[in-house]
Amino acid sequence: MDKHASSPKIVRDVLRRHRLTLKKSLGQNFLIDENILRKIVDAADLTKDSYVLEIGPGAGALTQLLADRAKKVIAIEIDRRLEPVLAETLSGFPNCLIHFGDVLKMDLAGTIADDCPEGTPLTVAANLPYYVTTPILMKLLTGGLPIRTIVIMIQKEVADRLEAKPGQKSYGSLSIAVQYMADPKIIMTVPKTVFVPRPNVDSAVIRLDVRDQRKVKVEDEAFFFKLIKASFAQRRKTLMNNLMNNLYSKREKEKLLKALEAAAIDPERRGETLTIEEFARLSNVLNRRMDGF
Ligand code: SAM
């Protein structure tokens, strides 16, 4: 068999023959709708020169379609039990390479070093395991690999957070961290019915175009992320209260007020109303001048 690892019958058959039951704990909800799979592949804008990194190939449904369009597909799968399944479903696809291991624990650059020339632009395409969506996405964005485009199926609720703008219900520290490094755009929402087994939540396909440069100029990234985290610690509290409770001590209150004034940000505003540019400005003022006030 070399095609259609997405047909429900074939997926069930291959899993049965290999005596495999899918593990909820590994986020194993396999896609069984060829149309949706094709839309993921279409959204990745692949050419015959593309190198694709797939996280979690499962039974190889998406991998097959990616391999049809790209030069090479490098896939990382945590579950060794899938090795004989993938050997079967990908037997007709010599341009697929599978590495077994936990994507969160491995040195990604080292793992794929032999598979593609250093510096080759990469496209990520995946139906991600939902229990680790955010850490995987952050690793892809900050791991130093030359990733240009990311097309992933994730929980709808997380996709909304990635795309959210100031003032929207889903806007938070994840929106800012991701939009700082990439431009996210939801491609489509996906019902539970296209997976085996069905997940408990709705899903969405989102594309992220990774920026060549960060969206805003931040002098100390670690501090910028700390500031954002503190600003959203309790959504109902004002920016001032959150910063006082989570980042500064009582005796620093006056200095903080002056810094907010210098950054032209009203301390009574809530974190969820601040744009990424305002967070960057505040971060740079606090970082540079907190001791000088
Ligand atoms: N690509 C397949 C599909 O669309 O039908 C399977 C997608 S399934 C949602 C997620 C896959 O990620 C599973 O095959 C699971 O074993 C794998 N996985 C889970 N955690 C992982 C991790 N930490 N590193 C690598 N793969 C992981």
pLDDT in tens, 135-164: 999 999 999 999 999 999 999 999 999 999
58: left (phi over 0), alpha (psi -120 to 50) or beta: left
Asked if 74 contacts 112 with a C-beta cutoff of 8 angstroms, the reply is yes
To test the pocket of ligand 1, the residue of 78, 90, 107 to mutate (highest count of ligand atoms within 8 Å of its CB) is: 78
Report the atom number in ligand 1 closest to the C-alpha of 23: 16
The confidence score (pLDDT) of residue 292 equals 65
Is a pLDDT exceeding 70 seen at residue 272? yes
The alpha carbon of 37 and the centre of ligand 1 are apart by a number of angstroms equal to: 15
Closest residue CA from atom 11 of ligand 1: 56
To test the pocket of ligand 1, the residue of 30, 32, 138 to mutate (highest count of ligand atoms within 8 Å of its CB) is: 30
Spatial CB neighbours of 33, under 8 Å, sequence gap ≥ 6: 6, 194
To test the pocket of ligand 1, the residue of 15, 23, 63, 79 to mutate (highest count of ligand atoms within 8 Å of its CB) is: 79
Spatial CB neighbours of 78, under 8 Å, sequence gap ≥ 6: 26, 56, 100, 101, 102, 103
Q: Which amino acid is at 16?
A: R
In CATH, which of 2.40.37.10, 3.40.830.10, 1.20.1440.130, 1.10.8.100 is domain 221-292?
Answer: 1.10.8.100
The confidence score (pLDDT) of residue 241 equals 97
Residue in 194, 186, 263 with CA at minimum distance from that of residue 227: 263
For residue 11, name the pLDDT band (cuts at 50, 70, 90). Answer: confident
Enter the tokens of residue 167.
Answer: 């003032």
In this structure, the residues whose C-beta lies within 6 A of any atom of ligand 1 are 26-31, 55-58, 61-62, 76-79, 102-104, 127, 129, 132
CA distance 237 to 166: 16
Q: Give span(s): CATH 1.10.8.100, the chain.
A: 221-292
CA distance 151 to 123: 8
Domain 8-210 has CATH 3.90.180.10: no
* Mean pLDDT taken over the chain: 94
Q: Are strands 51-55 and 72-77 parallel, antiparallel or unpaired?
A: parallel
Neighbouring-strand partners of residue 31: 195
The alpha carbon of 127 and the centre of ligand 1 are apart by a number of angstroms equal to: 7
Work out the burial of residue 205: count CB atoms within 10 Å of its CB; fewer than 13 is exposed, 13-18 middle, 19 or more buried: buried
pLDDT in tens, 209-220: 999 999 999 999
pLDDT in tens, 172-199: 999 999 999 999 999 999 999 999 999 9
Report the atom number in ligand 1 closest to the C-alpha of 79: 16
Asked if 71 contacts 50 with a C-beta cutoff of 8 angstroms, the reply is yes
In the chain, DSSP finds a helix count (H) and a strand count (E) of 12, 9
Neighbouring-strand partners of residue 77: 100
Q: Give span(s): CATH 3.40.50.150, the chain.
A: 8-210
Q: Are strands 147-155 and 203-210 parallel, antiparallel or unpaired?
A: antiparallel
80: left (phi over 0), alpha (psi -120 to 50) or beta: alpha
Q: Which contiguous run of DSSP H or E holds residue 148?
A: strand 147-155
The alpha carbon of 180 and the centre of ligand 1 are apart by a number of angstroms equal to: 27
Closest residue CA from atom 17 of ligand 1: 56
Dihedral of alpha carbons 88, 93, 94, 97, sign: negative
The confidence score (pLDDT) of residue 12 equals 85
Closest residue CA from atom 1 of ligand 1: 57
Q: Which amino acid is at 192?
A: K
The confidence score (pLDDT) of residue 1 equals 41
pLDDT in tens, 78-130: 999 999 999 999 999 999 999 999 999 999 999 999 999 989 999 999 999 99
